[in-house]
Structure 1
């Protein structure tokens, strides 16, 4: 028996054992490597088997990753030898697939053991060999290289750390690498991953003649979008600029059609899966537009090629009525047969009836459609589908009938008047004066306008003594009805605001400040301004300052009040909190309008000396709405603010005024260690760009320095610039305490 065949039989037996139970892989691999390894001088068939076995082994989920990691280090010399000395395509493909499975395991081992230089050098040699083959290798090998590059990008980009205490359970990513690692520097790995991602994106924008390579790249990008949110937007933006029907510009052969359909369906599946996993993604609108545009382009490409032959330009056998519609012959249609009007009196039904069909003439629409709303919904599409020529002919027929009836009625009236004159014995036709026809409304008005003014005109007009008609007065509304209808009005306004938010794009024009017209553009900002001014200016001066109870936001709220302004404020607050990150500009518009209203009222109140002093020393009304609204909105937003939400800096900088109560919310937020930097950033920004708030910022930062130990490093940097004497006093106090403690210690 052939020794190679006998060896393959034994290897197949070992493989079958491992496939039956994955626990045998760690014991079978050390026994197989001497047979298929670099120093075995094995035949090509055995090397093919060995490469396939390794690819299957490290892709199998039947044994744990910890065992795979220890075995992965032993197969690196074999993989390196396969890629450098063997020219067989099957061996190279399986070796690259094995390298794609092994790379994350070796990477995690090197992170834990930074002194294992030999194994990492083997891995770097394998990586360099695979990357060199990526552009010039045969198509099958290039697809395997795409899989390897996907794994490298996945490993060398930052991922989420689920539990820092259990690093073995976390996803293998750049987040596991220390900044000072000697073998794998953090910056080098991140830059390499970015460059490899650009190479993958260049594949989909390049030549589409190899559709398998393009579809493999798109499938690899889908995994990167799902598991690495940090690079998802970059990948999606590149895919949305990708022309999936690029091959449609070349001659449409059957092979080209198959390639176009393959790329188009893979792209559609990728984007549809992205929208399904993240229904509220910021790019979902662009993705939906891209899919619709690609659908229209595909119909244009494939429907044009699958249409039947065009109709002849001229009819070949005359203007046959059965072929006019198909051939498009422009032949005037015969005039419809219209039944004549009956003699005698004619009703509206007989005037408008144009069909000789008795079934259609006796049709009762009220019995078919007892609900008039259904009939109204049907009339509009029916009128849109009617041929304009036929409709014009029908209108002309009805018009001619009506004129015929008018002429017939005039002739009958003239005949009646002639017969009456003859019966009275009037023979002289010149002295005969026929009865006047009744005047219509327009003739009567013209005659009255031309007549001289006279107070007795009403006596000459019959029925002019009728009393004027007046509608009955509506019953007065109760307080509950007023509140109900007011709430409905506010909800309708907020609904219009939400519709404008979705339909109107963001305006890039320059705003006009407080003196702008509220509804000049009918966009989202205009509606927000209308609601804000409705809340702040509609009821100015109508509240009773003596009634009310103290609220938690230092304001006054009427108990059982039905004030429109309070309900508008609640509606604006709910609208902003529904999506506060996108609607923070609406909050700024509203609060600035509240501040302006309080300032306007403070000018009137300050004359009598009844104004309160705020943190800046300015006069503001003691019961204003601005600070109460700011504090309420801040207390609602801060539980959802993350350490990276720098939009809070914009909010605090663009509202009109801040005081101690507002900035003490930043101190409360700094109790969360992840949000200390954001709170300090807000205070630093306000100190630099809002001079009236500098003293308050320093006071709040000093309070954080004394009460929050976690915030001391960040607060020290700013206090050393703003108030170094505070740090010096703190250090002197600490030295004094330490000296006193040393004096109190006595020798035994």
Structure 2
């Protein structure tokens, strides 16, 4: 070993023993390994220097302040290593040292805005490393992945939690917006771009499994420490195929690489679940892991467990087909015959028990086995099932024939006697049955000769009919629980149903067939009609129902209908922009059902008047479910709608009925200054394309102009075209009386539209 290397190793060992010596050893070795070193410095010394710097700045045993101060002094050395040295070991260690130094220099530049020299050195090192990330050898690219991980960590905003603030967490939150050397937007964009480069590696070529596994290992830290990009990373991993090499020729090398990538992916996702058990993506993670396991097993079954092609026999006869073809193998003489059944022990003289009848071996050692020693029936099943599966069918057939022969011989000797128990008296007639077993053909012929009454005695008395016990009636609580369970399962099936293209020949409208294609639309139709039509008429006050049982069932049906409506509302609000068609279909079903029920009530009232039953005239209108749930849906949407969400126009334009209460929600939305233009746009659209509600639109627009000062310019623009009298009255000072008259007329028009706003929509 070179003397200088021996001295350097001694200094390195001293620093490893006590981290406090790093602050004195690093300045001492820099003239030997740094830019001040002579050009004749051997490659071994430079390799030692790069390894020492990577080990030094990755060590947690010395103070971060000293580490940040000395990091500025080694930037030129690292730049020299990366620009001039061609040794792969030096480059790898230099990149690892740069990965540890980058956060330190980053925090220093945040606090010192005028230190452009060191920041330019760091940017030059970063550019050199990023250039080598795509073209360098595999080992160097893995080190580049580590550096890119640190850059993404530093240049990505973190979640600020005052209760658990980490002073050592260096992120984009430390950079002020007006920093002269570090533009906030540029750093953020670069961090997102480098993250995309990392994710692009796992979706690219998998011929370098070490690089892919290195990227997967780096993503775990990003998911844990940067929740802002966690969903983006998990989405990319869900679209990642760790078994891409299964499509390539399945060599031993490809098998090892595929297994390595699969296990690394599984370890990444399992650790995500362990760190955050309440993560909403855990369900997708479990599904992805199960799918990956099944695909991996299928790939291995196809490659490792595939049976080779059968070898053709040389003699022209397959040994497994010799019995079927009745052919003799070569070399076998005509005297060769199949082996017969094994000899069966004869029955003892005297009465025979069932155990002796079914015992075929002479020793009878298995008959003495006591099965009562198995206390657990499951344990006995685990033993019996493999034993039964391993029984030879030929031997089983011989044993059955032997037992049949014994039974026939005993029946012939004593026709009126059955096999006696083992404790039969000794004074009964002894008999000597024929213990010679018969073959299968003889046994079948003998059984055919017997009458049906000899084989299966018919009892003298007929059997009584068997009737299953009646199921006890469900209680109201059980009906409610099972109903809610059915509704929840229906929504679970709706969540996983795939979108299917509607048939061109399918009929639309309210009379269309539900569940014709078993897709999402079919389930929406079923659920909406279950909510609207299943309980129609059960809550009418004129039914005169007195039976308590019927009333309880009516209440249960209504409760289930409300449960379905609540489920539909929550399902729509989870992604209301994409599921707006579901909301419109549901509201149309509600409006149609309310209209039909109102017409039925009107016809029933008319019939009662004609028949003279004035006492049974309906005095209460049916409950308007459409009005109730349309307002609830709008109240939920108005809170979260943004001024750019013009899709709200579609909802209001396709709702079957509009009234003053619904349009008042638009006026409520205009209280937000950012959404005034959207509210006026909605009212303008309704005025232009829904003429029946023009009067309501003008009333709401007038109220908006009078009550909201910020909305006056936008509202006055359309009032000047549609109802200039309001502006003229305001200018003449008579807006108060006119407003009161207008409101009275508005209320009159609203009541004229009916409970459901049917006339306004028609």
Q: In which range does the TM-score fall when normalised by the shorter chain?
A: 0.5 to 0.7
Q: Which residue of 2 aligns with 1:570?
A: 562
Instruction: Check conservation: 2:515, 2:522, Cα contact below 8 A.
Output: yes
Q: Which residue of 2 aligns with 1:500?
A: 493
Q: 1:90 to 1:263 in 2, by over 3 A?
A: same
Q: Which residue of 1 aligns with 2:264?
A: 266
SS of aligned partner of 1:249: coil
Q: 1:209 to 1:375 in 2, by over 3 A?
A: closer
Q: In structure 2, what is the Cα distance between the partners aligned to 1:526 and 1:543?
A: 27
Q: Which residues in structure 2 correspond to 1:302-313 (within 5 Å)?
A: 302-303=304-305, 313=312
Instruction: Check conservation: 1:104, 1:151, Cα contact below 8 A.
Output: yes
Q: Which residue of 2 aligns with 1:235?
A: 236
> Shift of residue 97 of structure 1?
0.7
Instruction: Check conservation: 2:659, 2:696, Cα contact below 8 A.
Output: yes
Higher mean alpha-carbon deviation, 597-606 vs 289-298, is at: 597-606
Q: In structure 2, what is the Cα distance between the partners aligned to 1:577 and 1:390?
A: 67
Instruction: Check conservation: 1:83, 1:95, Cα contact below 8 A.
Output: yes
Q: 1:147 to 1:385 in 2, by over 3 A?
A: same
Q: Which residues in structure 2 correspond to 1:261-660 (within 5 Å)?
A: 261-274=259-272, 278=279, 279-282=281-284, 285-303=287-305, 313-314=312-313, 409=451, 483-484=476-477, 486-487=479-480, 490-491=483-484, 493-494=486-487, 496-498=489-491, 500-501=493-494, 504-509=497-502, 512-523=508-519, 525-545=521-541, 562-573=554-565, 575-576=567-568, 585=579, 589-603=585-599, 623-631=623-631, 656=656
Higher mean alpha-carbon deviation, 571-580 vs 642-651, is at: 642-651
Q: Which residue of 1 aligns with 2:610?
A: none
Q: 1:170 to 1:667 in 2, by over 3 A?
A: farther
Report the number of matched residues. Answer: 618
> Shift of residue 387 of structure 1?
11
Q: In structure 1, what is the Cα distance between the partners aligned to 2:499 and 2:387?
A: 38
Output one character per residue of 1:194-252: Cα deviation in whole Å (capped at 9) or x when no partner. Answer: 55445445544555554333322332244445532253155325522761446x61643
> Shift of residue 82 of structure 1?
2.3
Structure ranking higher on relative contact order (CA contacts 8 Å, 6+ apart): 2
SS of aligned partner of 2:499: coil
Instruction: Check conservation: 1:667, 1:704, Cα contact below 8 A.
Output: yes
Q: 1:114 to 1:546 in 2, by over 3 A?
A: farther
Q: 1:211 to 1:561 in 2, by over 3 A?
A: closer
Q: In structure 2, what is the Cα distance between the partners aligned to 1:285 and 1:474?
A: 42
Instruction: Check conservation: 1:106, 1:120, Cα contact below 8 A.
Output: yes
Output one character per residue of 1:52-103: Cα deviation in whole Å (capped at 9) or x when no partner. Answer: 3332233233456566545433432222122223333333222101111222
Q: 1:233 to 1:256 in 2, by over 3 A?
A: closer
Q: Which residue of 2 aligns with 1:249?
A: 249
Q: In structure 2, what is the Cα distance between the partners aligned to 1:35 and 1:669?
A: 72
SS of aligned partner of 2:282: coil
Instruction: Check conservation: 1:163, 1:170, Cα contact below 8 A.
Output: no
Instruction: Check conservation: 1:683, 1:697, Cα contact below 8 A.
Output: no
Q: Which residue of 1 aligns with 2:134?
A: 135
Tell me, which stretches of 5 or more residues in structure 2 are unaligned? 330-336, 345-353, 402-438, 455-464, 545-549, 607-619, 731-762
Q: In structure 2, what is the Cα distance between the partners aligned to 1:702 and 1:67?
A: 70
> Shift of residue 400 of structure 1?
12
Instruction: Check conservation: 1:240, 1:287, Cα contact below 8 A.
Output: no
Q: Which residue of 1 aligns with 2:85?
A: 86
Q: In structure 2, what is the Cα distance between the partners aligned to 1:408 and 1:215?
A: 76
Tell me, which stretches of 5 or more residues in structure 1 are unaligned? 340-349, 413-468, 549-557, 611-619, 734-748
Q: 1:169 to 1:137 in 2, by over 3 A?
A: same
Q: 1:623 to 1:292 in 2, by over 3 A?
A: same
Instruction: Check conservation: 1:58, 1:101, Cα contact below 8 A.
Output: yes
Q: 1:81 to 1:521 in 2, by over 3 A?
A: same
Q: In structure 2, what is the Cα distance between the partners aligned to 1:514 and 1:88?
A: 77
Q: Which residue of 2 aligns with 1:456?
A: none
Output one character per residue of 1:357-383: Cα deviation in whole Å (capped at 9) or x when no partner. Answer: 999xx9xxxx999x9999999999999
> Shift of residue 154 of structure 1?
3.7
Q: Which residue of 1 aligns with 2:218?
A: 220
> Shift of residue 181 of structure 1?
5.5
Q: In structure 2, what is the Cα distance between the partners aligned to 1:55 and 1:488?
A: 64
Instruction: Check conservation: 1:104, 1:155, Cα contact below 8 A.
Output: yes
SS of aligned partner of 1:595: helix
Q: In structure 2, what is the Cα distance between the partners aligned to 1:133 and 1:320?
A: 64
Q: Which residue of 1 aligns with 2:760?
A: none
Q: Does 1:37 align with 2:34?
A: yes
SS of aligned partner of 2:539: coil
Q: In structure 2, what is the Cα distance between the partners aligned to 1:73 and 1:130?
A: 18
Output one character per residue of 1:459-495: Cα deviation in whole Å (capped at 9) or x when no partner. Answer: xxxxxxxxxx9x9999997xxx563464255235325
Instruction: Check conservation: 2:643, 2:677, Cα contact below 8 A.
Output: no
Output one character per residue of 1:364-409: Cα deviation in whole Å (capped at 9) or x when no partner. Answer: xxx999x9999999999999999999999999x9999999878765
Q: In structure 2, what is the Cα distance between the partners aligned to 1:63 and 1:108?
A: 18
Q: In structure 2, what is the Cα distance between the partners aligned to 1:167 and 1:705?
A: 49
Output one character per residue of 1:118-159: Cα deviation in whole Å (capped at 9) or x when no partner. Answer: 222111210121123223434322221121123233444x44
Q: 1:29 to 1:410 in 2, by over 3 A?
A: closer
SS of aligned partner of 1:135: helix
Q: In structure 1, what is the Cα distance between the partners aligned to 2:358 and 2:339?
A: 15
Q: Which residue of 1 aligns with 2:428?
A: none
Q: In structure 1, what is the Cα distance between the partners aligned to 2:293 and 2:251?
A: 24
Q: 1:697 to 1:225 in 2, by over 3 A?
A: farther
Higher mean alpha-carbon deviation, 201-210 vs 697-706, is at: 697-706
Q: 1:238 to 1:609 in 2, by over 3 A?
A: same
Q: 1:249 to 1:74 in 2, by over 3 A?
A: same
SS of aligned partner of 1:514: coil
SS of aligned partner of 1:515: coil
Instruction: Check conservation: 2:113, 2:179, Cα contact below 8 A.
Output: yes
Output one character per residue of 1:522-579: Cα deviation in whole Å (capped at 9) or x when no partner. Answer: 455534433432332234334244899xxxxxxxxx9988424421233225545776
When the two structures are superposed, what TM-score results if normalisation uses the length of structure 1? 0.60
When the two structures are superposed, what TM-score results if normalisation uses the length of structure 2? 0.59
Q: 1:698 to 1:110 in 2, by over 3 A?
A: farther
Q: In structure 2, what is the Cα distance between the partners aligned to 1:652 and 1:384?
A: 64
- Aligned-CA RMSD value: 6.6
Q: In structure 2, what is the Cα distance between the partners aligned to 1:517 and 1:508?
A: 16
Q: In structure 2, what is the Cα distance between the partners aligned to 1:372 and 1:26?
A: 72
Match of 2:159 among 142, 146, 161: 161
Instruction: Check conservation: 1:649, 1:681, Cα contact below 8 A.
Output: no
Q: Which residue of 2 aligns with 1:415?
A: none
Q: Which residue of 1 aligns with 2:15?
A: 15
Instruction: Check conservation: 1:179, 1:185, Cα contact below 8 A.
Output: yes
Q: In structure 1, what is the Cα distance between the partners aligned to 2:567 and 2:442?
A: 60
Q: Which residue of 2 aligns with 1:446?
A: none
Output one character per residue of 1:496-546: Cα deviation in whole Å (capped at 9) or x when no partner. Answer: 414533664333436844332123234555344334323322343342448
Instruction: Check conservation: 1:225, 1:231, Cα contact below 8 A.
Output: no
Instruction: Check conservation: 1:55, 1:98, Cα contact below 8 A.
Output: yes
SS of aligned partner of 1:314: coil
